[in-house]
Structure formats: structure tokens, C-alpha cells
Amino acid sequence: MVVGIGADGWDGLSSAAQQAVSRSRVLMGSRRQLDLVPGEFERVAWPSPLVPALPELFEKYRDVCVLASGDPMFHGIGTTLVRLLGDRVTVLPHPSSVSLACARLGWALNEVEVVSLVARSADLLRPVLTPGQRVLVLGGDPATVAALAGDITVLEQLGGPAERVYPWSGQDADPLCVIAIESGGSALSRVPGLPDDVYESDGQLTKREVRAISLSRLAPLPGQLLWDVGAGSGSIAIEWARTHPTCRAIAVEQSVERAERIAGNAASLGVPGVEVHIGRAPDALEGLEKPDAIFIGGGVTVPGVLQACWDALAAGGRLVVNAVTLESEAVVAQWYARLGGDLVRISVNRGSSVGKFTGWRPHMPVTTWSVTK
């Protein structure tokens, strides 16, 4: 049994939740949550780290009621326990802190973006700080959030006797708080094809127009994993990850300097979870989690790279390769003849000044091969 409990404690529980707790012999939860419940129970405070200890805890104890903050299935322990224990888990939710915050602020819950920063980087806020977007932050430090978002509102101890809602101006906040943002922020879209100048680069960068086309062929879907092989500045991996919070990417790059640059670009563009793997393909691909899609932006002429990438894909996986040189085009042509797919040549011309006039300056054409396994 998992019971959600709020800052209003025992008195705020429904009669069904109170009965469920009272029937249990063992209570598990944080020390703060355990102190909210009266009565004689064996009380087990969560150890740290928590998740690795859970199997042993539930082998040792029976007739357990787990206390969770608010709605256990919303960024809560309930989802972890269901994954671990399956249908042995019954959940009785309490209103979440997000529901309570929206009620206090008069915000429509279905129109609010929610970001959890519990044990996570504040850089995750960057993609959602767009003009007109209302955002609620869980587990964040007000000073860190304000440095990214500007003016914020802090909502403390929601639903409890010590509840406070106030514009933050530098004071200490209660750890049990939600942070509300309603401001302008960045105008960077989640649609692939960000301006080239948002990236730190030494020139190894898939240019904006080609990047947008390449990502359309990679077709990111929620929860899927990309390998970006020969990642350069990391733009393909980063924009894949930006399309949805559950999209993941591994950038493979042999240069230590470029790998560090990829990590910096990923953080500044709001996807610090992009994993950077330093090494030379194909050897660097061994042991990596199998991907749903692979992009090869560099190193396609290295023996074994294309074969290793193709072998790593499961049925339905997508492979996209960009070729600029004659040598890389020759490799792509051989594989296209063998496997088919789609072959496109992209030529981009950008307007620039020619004296007092404007003319076209061509970029090197790029051959893009895409194929589904």
C-alpha cells in the first residue's frame, strides 16, 4: 500500500487512507513523513541511496504502508514501487503539490509545464523558459531558478498550517516548496534547426539547414535513444534530446576537447543528460546501450564503422549518414546500392554582401543517406 500524504498530515488524509495506514504494521517513508502519522507502528526511514535498497527492504518487511508526498504516481516513489513490485502495489493518492500550486495561483493545470529538479541539473529548465509559458519547478533552489528565469514565486508547505505564497526576493525558502515561473525567457524552439551561433564550435558542426533535414530523417520519438557518431559539436544529439524530455542521446567523439565542448553545449541548451562517450568508432561503440536511431556525421570512411552501426540497430531502427567528401560519398553509394533507402543531395546557398549588393555564397553540398532496418 502506498498512501499520499500532504503538509496537512494525518488530518488531511481521507478516511480510506487513514484506515489503510492504521491496518499496517510497518510504515516506510522519509523521517518527515513518518512524523506526520500518530500511532504505534514499526517505522522505517528511507536509506540512502534508496532505489538499490528497495528489494531487500520488501523482502524483510511485510504488511507495509509506504508514505509518499502528495500524489505518489507524480514524480513520486509510487512509480518506482510499481516497476519493482507490479500489481502488489495499491496506491491512494493525495492532491499533488502541483495541483495545490495551480489552485493557489489560478493557473490551468493542463497548460502548465512541470520540471522536477530533484537530484537533477537546473539546466533542464532552459528549454521550457519560453515566452508566455507557465512553469512549476519541483525540488529546485530558488536562487538557482531565479538566476535562469528572473522573477519567481515560492509556494511553501502547500495545504499545511505553515503555508506561504510570496514573490521571492533572496530570502531562504522552506525545502518543501514549489517554484512558479511566469516570464519571458528564451525564444529557442524545440523544432530542430537551431541557429548555428548557439553552439560553441571549432567548425565541426552540422549546419542548420542540413541538421534540420537530418533530424527529420532520424525521426525522434519519445523515449528513444540516438547514437551520434563522430559528434563534433554535438548538435544532432542535442537537438534530438530537445524534441522531448524522454529522448536520450549518446554522443561519440574521439577528441577530448570536442567532447568537453559537447557537454557544455548540451548544458547551455537544456539537455545536460546527453551522454558523451570519448573514443574512436567502431571500437568506442562496444558496450553502449543499443540505439533506436544512429547518425554518422564523421568517420564513415573508417573501416567497420558503418557495419558496426548497422549491426547495432534492431528492426525498425533508423540510420542517417551525412557525406561531404568524395571518399565518404563513395562509401555511402556502396551501402545505398546494397540496402536501398533514400539518397538526397543538399545544397545550401546563403545571402551575403557583395560590395553594396547581395549575392549567394554556396556551402559545400552534403549527401544524406537514410535507411530503416
Bond preceding residue 282 cis, omega within 30 of 0:
yes
Residue 299 grid coordinates: 568517420
Sequence-ordered list of residues with C-beta below 8 angstroms from that of 326, at least 6 positions apart, any chain = none
Q: How many angstroms separate the Cα of 8 from the Cα of each of 67, 106, 163?
A: 13, 21, 10
Instruction: Say yes or no to pLDDT of 319 above 90.
Output: yes
Confidence at 247, pLDDT banded by 50, 70, 90:
very high
Q: Decide if 2-95 and 196-372 have a common fold.
A: no
What is the SS3 assignment for 19? helix
Looking at residue 94, its pLDDT comes to 94
Task: Decide if pLDDT at 317 tops 90.
Answer: yes
Q: What is the pLDDT of residues 258-279, one digit of tens each?
A: 999 999 999 999 999 999 999 9
Strands 248-253 and 225-229: parallel
Q: Which residues does residue 137 pair with via DSSP β-bridges, in sequence order? A: 115, 179
**Class of CATH domain 196-372:** alpha beta
Residues 289-312 pLDDT 10s: 999 999 999 899 999 999 999 999
CB 225 within 8 A of CB 291: yes
Q: What is the pLDDT of residue 25?
A: 94
pLDDT band at 14 (very low <50, low <70, confident <90, very high): very high
5 sits in which H/E element: strand 2-5
Q: What are phi and psi of 275, to 5 degrees?
A: -90, 130
CATH code, 98-182: 3.30.950.10
Give the residue from 369, 326, 318 showing the smallest Cα distance to 345. 369
Tell me the Cα Rg of the chain. 25
Per residue in 212-231, pLDDT (tens digit) is 999 999 999 999 999 999 99
Q: Which of 39-43, 102-106, 189-193 has the highest mean pLDDT?
A: 102-106
> What was the pLDDT predicted at 187?
75
Question: Cell numbers of 340, please?
Answer: 536501398
Q: Are 310 and 340 in contact (CB under 8 A)?
A: no
For residues 24 and 65, what is the distance between their CA atoms, to the nearest angstrom?
6
Query: Would the CA dihedral through 269, 273, 277, 282 be positive or negative?
Result: negative
For residues 248-287, one letter each, b for 16 or more C-beta atoms within 10 angstroms of the residue's C-beta and e for the rest, the string is bbbbbbbbeebbebbbebbbebbbbbbbbbeeebbebbee
The domain 2-95 having CATH identifier 3.40.50.2000: the answer here is no
Which residues contact residue 370 at a Cβ distance below 8 angstroms, ignoring those fewer than 6 apart? 217, 218, 318, 319, 320, 321, 341, 342, 344
For residue 183, the model assigns a pLDDT of 74
Check residue 244 and give its pLDDT: 95
**Residue for cell digits 563522430?**
230
3-state secondary structure of 276: strand
In eight-state DSSP terms, residue 2 is E
Residue 43 confidence (pLDDT) above 90: yes
Question: Where do runs of H (alpha helix) occur along the chain?
Answer: 15-22, 31-34, 54-60, 77-85, 97-105, 142-149, 208-218, 235-242, 256-268, 305-312, 326-339
C-alpha cell at 87: 500489481
pLDDT (0 to 100) of residue 168: 95
Helix, strand or coil, per DSSP, at residue 133: coil
Phi, psi (deg, nearest 5) at residue 285: -85, -15
What's the pLDDT score for residue 132? Answer: 87
Domain residue ranges in the chain: 2-95, 98-182, 196-372
